[in-house]
Amino acid sequence: MDMQATKKKLGLKEKYAHMTRGLDWETTYQSMDKVFPQAAFEGIKIHDWDKWEDPFRLTMDAYWKYQAEKERKLYAVLDAFAQNNGHLGVTDARYINALKLFLTGISPLEYVAHRGFAAAGRNFPGVGPRVACLMQSLDEVRHAQTQIHALSNYNKHYNGFHDFKHMIERVWYLSVPKSFFDDAFSAGPFEWMIAIGFSFEYVLTNLLFVPFMSGAAYNGDMGTVTVGFSAQSDEARHMTLGLECIKFMLEQDPDNLPIVQKWIDKWAWRGTRVLTLVGMMMDYMLPKRVMSWKEAWEIYFEQNGGALFNDLARYGIKVPECLSQAAIDKEHISHQAWATFYQYSGAADFHTWMPTDEEMDWLSAKYPNTFDKYYRPRFTHWREEAEKGNRFYNSTLPMLCQVCQIPMLFTEPDDPTQICYRESEYQGEKYHTCSDGCKHIFDNEPDKYIQAWLPVHQIYQGNCFPEGTDPTAEGFNPLAEVLKWYHVEHGRDNLDFEGSEDQKNFAAWRGMATKNV
């Protein structure tokens, strides 16, 4: 028919425009301000939401189609992994501890990201960003669930995976990632986009999902790797959304620049601090290593982030000042964090250990400026003490940073032998932070950070014992009671890897696989 011949098939851009643009309207029976009550309070000025560019032009039917394809593949791998006892194929059972930190510290955040993007997807007055945010919200629930489903099989065989929902709200080090997301979700929708859409997704998740997951593959964990890479494929869309959002704000009004810059400074630093945990996972918790934390940082943060900041310079965005400290810290933080978890292993939900000689040699080679000078003597001493039956467990509670909530373990930028102390005063009360970056964040919004639920302070206030515990009773052991409140089973979930139930089970099960019995 003639009609058919003349009717040109719509191109991707055109089709997408019809499918989304124009779905919304200027409300008149209710004011736009009432329909979108969160659009203005942060001070961001938007004049024309139609200027929003949607780089990935996914309609819902295409979304369902491609995502279902990914899910089919992913669950086929997970089923095979479970059926074939894939967990026994990992290089070394120490590796499994990285997964515990992943499930307790990261998967719950994916869930909060889902809720936060649902909120952003409701709150922006433009249809383009709303649809992109909602798809991201959907992806984030995917990530939470696929991670839980992948690690469910590990939970059946190893300790420490068993109560992640309970732990994320309580355990001291999990308050680091939790408070990061609480901070972002309690902010307005535009700041949320900088915090999660830009800093977390664009600048930081590559570091988590790409080199770490490649490391998981290297350590024989195909289940987790598939989940990680499959999640990261959604991140490509998320990063693009984050970048688009930042450009959009900057292009809409010059008054947005200082606000956006302040958020970039804040969230680049918040994110960098949280990544300390990932640095430690890469350098210490992967028995076979693909690259060091420092190398990953250089590739995915310095080069990639550098390209990004070069690009944003045309809007007047400056590289956050705090990143000069991050460039110094990259040589230290993984070691400092591991030293922390090693000594507080009594209060952690995973096992720790001291590196072998061979591993220390690898660390010296990767960190020629710092490892032998500052960290090897300490680690060698601890290992020798452990061999003598004197494994060091620190049982005195540490001082925490009021903002990032990490114990005050970071050193001065110009002196790696000196802990960095920063202090602020607000309404007659003292507050301590671990760095100029965190102090700056506190000083900008003290009314927010004075509310922080700091685990150490909460323990001392008596809020972290099981219900009905009497702290005045004879023989009251506060640390034992805190562990019970955490649902960390002492002697099973915590302490050194050496002698752990995980170690014994893995060895026994592997033995069954390699011997004829």
Q: Contact with another protein (CB under 8 A): which of 29, 470, 473, 474?
A: 29
304 binds another protein (CB under 8 A): yes
Whether 441 and 321 have beta carbons less than 8 Å apart is answered as: no
Beta carbons of 77 and 223 less than 8 angstroms apart: yes
Considering only the stretches 94-102, 175-183, 265-273, 356-364, report the one whose residues sit in contact with another protein under the rule CB under 8 A: 175-183
Out of 158, 200, 212, 267, the residue judged to bind another protein by CB under 8 A: 158
Whether the Cβ atoms of residue 59 and residue 16 lie closer than 8 Å to each other:
yes
**Which residue, 145 or 364, has its beta carbon nearer to another protein?**
145
Q: Which of 302, 359, 413, 448 binds another protein (CB under 8 A)?
A: 448
In whole angstroms, what is the distance from residue 321 CA to residue 369 CA? 23
**Is residue 311 near another protein by the rule CB under 8 A?**
yes
State the nearest-atom distance from the C-beta of 124 to another protein, in Å.
11
Q: Interacting stretch for another protein, rule CB under 8 A, among 86-94, 270-278, 316-324, 351-359?
A: 86-94
Which residue from 423, 466, 491, 507 is in contact with another protein, where contact means CB under 8 A? 423
Helix axes 127-157, 12-20, angle to 10 degrees: 90
Task: Tell me how far, at minimum, the Cβ of 254 lies from another protein, in Å.
Answer: 19
Site stretch for another protein (CB under 8 A), options 92-100, 150-158, 249-257, 270-278: 150-158
The stretch near another protein (CB under 8 A) out of 92-100, 211-219, 274-282, 356-364 is: 211-219
Binders in 248-277 for another protein, by CB under 8 A: none
Q: What is the DSSP string of 183-219?
A: HHHTS-HHHHIIIIIIIIIIIIHHHHHTHHHHHHHHT
Nearest to 490 by CA among 342, 341, 347: 347
Task: Write the Ramachandran bin of 316: left for phi over 0, alpha for psi from -120 to 50, otherwise beta.
Answer: left
Instruction: Verify binding: residue 315, another protein, rule CB under 8 A.
Output: no
Instruction: Rule CB under 8 A: choose which of 48, 316, 460, 491 binds another protein.
Output: 460
Q: Per CB under 8 A, which of residues 119..138 are in contact with another protein?
A: 119, 121-122, 127, 130-131, 134-135, 137-138
Answer for which of 239, 264, 317, 333 binds another protein (CB under 8 A) is 239
Looking at residue 357, its amino acid is: D
Q: Tell whether residue 418 is a contact of another protein (CB under 8 A).
A: yes
The footprint of another protein on this chain (CB under 8 A) covers a number of residues equal to 190
- Nearest approach, Cβ of 243 to another protein (angstroms)? 7
Return the residue of 3, 47, 357, 470 that touches another protein, per CB under 8 A.
3
CB of 425 to another protein, least distance (A): 10
Contact with another protein (CB under 8 A) among 358, 389, 414, 461: 461
Question: Rounded distance, CA 272 to CA 200, Å?
Answer: 9
Residues 44, 246 contacting (CB under 8 angstroms): no
Among 97, 104, 159, 352, binds another protein (CB under 8 A): 159
What are 484's two structure tokens? 């019970």
Q: By CB under 8 A, is residue 319 in contact with another protein?
A: no
User: Given candidates 254, 258, 306, 316, which one binds another protein under the rule CB under 8 A?
Assistant: 306
Residue that the structure tokens 């990935």 belong to? 56
| Closest alpha carbon to 116 in 36, 57, 56, 183 | 183
**Residue 465 binds another protein (CB under 8 A):** no
Angstrom distance (rounded) from CA 278 to CA 140 = 19
Structural tokens at position 238: 């998320």
Cα–Cα distance for residue pair 394/345, rounded to 1 Å: 8
Find out whether 479 and 340 touch, Cβ atoms under 8 Å: no
List the structure tokens of 177. Answer: 């990632």
Query: At its nearest, how many Å lie between another protein and the CB of residue 483?
Result: 15
Instruction: Report the nearest approach of another protein to the CB of residue 465 (Å).
Output: 13
**Residue with smaller CB distance to another protein, 473 or 513:** 513
- Cβ–Cβ < 8 Å for 264, 198: yes
d(CA 303, CA 305): 6
Task: List binders of another protein among 321-340 (CB under 8 A).
Answer: 336, 339-340
Does 457 sit near another protein (CB under 8 A)?
yes
Q: Is 310 in the site for another protein (CB under 8 A)?
A: yes
CA distance 189 to 262: 15
Residue appearing with tokens 């991707």: 12
Site string for another protein, 42-81 (x = CB under 8 A): xx-----------xxxxxxxxxxxxxxxxxxxxx------
Distance between CA atoms of 144 and 131, rounded to whole angstroms?
A: 20
Residue 412 interacts with another protein (CB under 8 A): yes or no: no
Of 45, 51, 318, 381, which lies in the binding site for another protein, with binding defined by CB under 8 A? 381
Interface with another protein, residue 318, by CB under 8 A? no
Secondary structure of 420-438 in the HEC alphabet? CCEEEEECCEEEEECCHHH
